Chains A and B, each alone.
Chain A
Amino acid sequence: MSLERFINQAVSSWMSEDGPDSDIVLSSRIRLARNLREVTFPSIATKESAEAVIKAVEERISNGCPTRFGPLEMLKVDDIQPLQKRVLVEKHLISPHLAEHSLNGAFLLSDNEEVSIMINEEDHIRIQCLFPGLQLTEALKAANEVDDWLEEKINYAFDEQYGYLTSCPTNVGTGLRASVMMHLPGLVLTRQMNKILPAINQLGLVVRGIYGEGSEALGNIFQISNQTTLGKSEEDIVDDLKGVVSQLISQERSARDALAKTSNIQLEDRVFRSFGVLENSRIIESKEAASCLSDVRLGIDMGYIKDLSRSILNELMILTQPGFLQQYAGGPLRPDERDIRRAALIRERIRMETNQ
């Protein structure tokens, strides 16, 4: 398969499309956890109870899907090849837990992959909406529509005091986890991230590097999400997160301005060195690739690199994960082979742009 076709098939809308503030906010995600009344939760489920959940959702789909999202098709985890599962996990469409540990796990996906519904994950039903850029309110609206549609036919476990009942008490109440993926190279380069992180944690929000360990975030990509799900309305949870994200956006922008003023040539040098590595290397590990991709994306955002599309970071961060590399290669690869493949894929992807 040609790389172009492979990418077209592999890329979800949040990776390739622009959204509001998408120079800094890569994607917005809303997740709602829901459970069925009178059915044991997946943690202690039997084959029969897990089957009952699948049946309830299947019945709901047979009565038609909400038109805005197009047809939703149910896929069962057990019917999918391990490599395909890994790819779906790398695209954040299903969770590792669903892929590896679920009993009768299944999921529904919309055509543009903005809506996914996981079944028999930690909770019976997990609705997820993933949008490009900063679109938390829009994603919440979409998730609520899917939720209302399911609720028309499915009896949810709901309690007047505790709200939507979930398997883990950390999700009870709204069952809502709102999260935003942000590219913050300016704040990392100016060493402000370490000061900002504790402040954000104090506000009941969690920050983590999604592709790295602890405070070291691979590719300078951070995920910020709410921790509190009980005692706040869905709108307030989203608004509070949005408030903090807007602050971070303006701080990141001023950090970038400051960098351009104080160390313009050093930054330009860094950007083009990284570009050189991506354009020319024959072997590249995922860590190095992530850090170079972050530099190049910063270079595009700040105008050093002109003829390269911005979505290259989002796309290649996902496409150079082990699962995708192996799918593109058409079979399993050893780690050293992956590093060679990764380098080849990145070179080819860049050539695709510059030829146009």
Chain B
Amino acid sequence: MICQECNERPATLHFTNFSNGEKTELHLCERCAQEKGEMFLMSQGPGFSINHFLQGLLNMDSPFQQKTKEPFQHETVLQCEQCSMTFPQFIKVGRFGCGNCYATFREHLIPVTRRLHSGNSSHIGKIPKRVGGTLQLQRNITSLKQTLSDHIAKEEFEKAVEVRDQIRSLEKKLAVERKEGE
């Protein structure tokens, strides 16, 4: 067999790669394998990260689930309405099919995101201005309420009154925006 890369030297190294259920074969001479290896390492090195262990992580739940099941019970498989991806499929490939999958598999995802993101399961970062809706307002109110109780605890009542008024006006705004959204 001749090397696929240089088509000159005999292929002495044979690679078989299984990824996402696809099998690819590569036959190279030592020289080209080394060059290609450098290319792989340079560009795809970062690719071998937690993603590859995801399948293992996601599967960790299954032994428990199987134990609690009745032996002849029919399994109801969760399936996304929008892209028809099923939960077992998601576990296999480690990738969602569309944004709606998150809603479909929501309950099952909390332990997964906790493992992946140092115990966290909710977003506290940026909110898109248009699509985010009233979320930013809600967050501001929650944080002001915290400030309010801090002021009360420290007996800073004048400041507390200011904050309370701010909360009221934001809550009004929230009610209006919610109505508009409906």
List chain A positions with a Cβ less than 8 A from chain B. 35, 37-41, 43-44, 89-90, 95-97, 122, 144, 147-148, 151-152, 155-170, 172-174, 176, 204, 206, 208-213, 223, 227-234, 237, 286-287, 321-322, 334-336, 338
Contact A335 B120 (CB under 8 A): no
- The count of A-to-B residue pairs whose CB atoms sit within 8 angstroms is 173
Q: Could you show 11 A-B contacts with beta carbons less than 8 Å apart?
A: A39-B98, A43-B95, A97-B47, A158-B132, A159-B103, A164-B128, A210-B46, A212-B41, A213-B41, A322-B39, A335-B32
Known contacts A96-B43, A169-B109, A210-B42: A174-B130 contact under CB 8 Å: no
Task: Determine if B125 is an interface residue (Cβ-Cβ < 8 Å).
Answer: yes
Contact B125 A232 (CB under 8 A): yes
The interface residues of chain B lying within 8 Å CB-to-CB of A40 are 82-83, 97-98
B residues 29-43 touching A (CB-CB < 8 Å): 31-32, 34-35, 38-39, 41-43
Shortest beta-carbon contacts, A-B, top 9:
A231-B120, A163-B123, A157-B99, A230-B117, A43-B95, A174-B125, A96-B43, A165-B99, A233-B125
Known contacts A156-B131, A231-B121: A90-B42 contact under CB 8 Å: yes
Tell me the bound Cα distance from A229 to B113 in angstroms: 10
Contact A228 B122 (CB under 8 A): no
Contact A41 B102 (CB under 8 A): no
> What is the minimal beta-carbon distance from B127 to any residue of chain A, in angstroms?
8
Task: Determine if B144 is an interface residue (Cβ-Cβ < 8 Å).
Answer: no
Tell me the bound Cα distance from A158 to B28 in angstroms: 45
Contact A286 B94 (CB under 8 A): no
Contact B94 A168 (CB under 8 A): yes
B residues 1-37 touching A (CB-CB < 8 Å): 6, 8, 31-32, 34-35
Task: Determine if B118 is an interface residue (Cβ-Cβ < 8 Å).
Answer: yes
The interface residues of chain B lying within 8 Å CB-to-CB of A335 are 6, 31-32, 34-35
Task: Determine if B119 is an interface residue (Cβ-Cβ < 8 Å).
Answer: yes
The interface residues of chain B lying within 8 Å CB-to-CB of A170 are 49-51, 54, 116
> What is the minimal beta-carbon distance from A126 to any residue of chain B, in angstroms?
13
Tell me the bound Cα distance from A286 to B41 in angstroms: 12
The interface residues of chain A lying within 8 Å CB-to-CB of B119 are 231
Residue on B nearest A237 in the bound complex, by CB:
B125
Contact A162 B125 (CB under 8 A): no
The interface residues of chain B lying within 8 Å CB-to-CB of A89 are 43
Contact A151 B128 (CB under 8 A): yes
Task: Determine if B124 is an interface residue (Cβ-Cβ < 8 Å).
Answer: yes
The interface residues of chain A lying within 8 Å CB-to-CB of B93 are 43
> What is the minimal beta-carbon distance from B146 to any residue of chain A, in angstroms?
16
Contact A234 B125 (CB under 8 A): yes
The interface residues of chain B lying within 8 Å CB-to-CB of A223 are 46
Contact B95 A167 (CB under 8 A): yes
The interface residues of chain A lying within 8 Å CB-to-CB of B126 are 144, 147, 163-164, 174, 233-234
Task: Determine if B45 is an interface residue (Cβ-Cβ < 8 Å).
Answer: yes
Task: Determine if B44 is an interface residue (Cβ-Cβ < 8 Å).
Answer: yes
> What is the minimal beta-carbon distance from B25 to any residue of chain A, in angstroms?
16
Task: Determine if B135 is an interface residue (Cβ-Cβ < 8 Å).
Answer: yes
The interface residues of chain A lying within 8 Å CB-to-CB of B130 are 151-152, 155
> What is the minimal beta-carbon distance from B129 to any residue of chain A, in angstroms?
6
**In the complex, which range does the number of interface residues on chain B fall in?**
35 or more
Task: Determine if B137 is an interface residue (Cβ-Cβ < 8 Å).
Answer: no
Known contacts A41-B98, A162-B123: A231-B117 contact under CB 8 Å: yes
The interface residues of chain A lying within 8 Å CB-to-CB of B174 are none
> What is the minimal beta-carbon distance from A198 to any residue of chain B, in angstroms?
16
Contact B97 A41 (CB under 8 A): yes
Task: Determine if B96 is an interface residue (Cβ-Cβ < 8 Å).
Answer: yes
Residue on A nearest B98 in the bound complex, by CB:
A40
Tell me the bound Cα distance from A174 to B6 in angstroms: 44
Residue on B nearest A321 in the bound complex, by CB:
B42
Known contacts A43-B97, A335-B32: A210-B45 contact under CB 8 Å: yes
Contact B113 A169 (CB under 8 A): yes
Residue on A nearest B83 in the bound complex, by CB:
A40
Task: Determine if B170 is an interface residue (Cβ-Cβ < 8 Å).
Answer: no
Tell me the bound Cα distance from A169 to B115 in angstroms: 11
Contact A230 B120 (CB under 8 A): yes
Tell me the bound Cα distance from A81 to B152 in angstroms: 67
Contact B98 A230 (CB under 8 A): no
The interface residues of chain A lying within 8 Å CB-to-CB of B98 are 38-41, 157
Contact B95 A162 (CB under 8 A): no
Residue on B nearest A229 in the bound complex, by CB:
B117
Contact A228 B95 (CB under 8 A): no
The interface residues of chain B lying within 8 Å CB-to-CB of A232 are 120, 124-125
Known contacts A168-B94, A169-B96, A170-B116: A161-B122 contact under CB 8 Å: yes
Contact A231 B122 (CB under 8 A): yes
Contact B129 A148 (CB under 8 A): yes
Residue on B nearest A176 in the bound complex, by CB:
B125
Tell me the bound Cα distance from A276 to B92 in angstroms: 53
Contact A334 B96 (CB under 8 A): no
> What is the minimal beta-carbon distance from A329 to any residue of chain B, in angstroms?
15
Task: Determine if B167 is an interface residue (Cβ-Cβ < 8 Å).
Answer: no
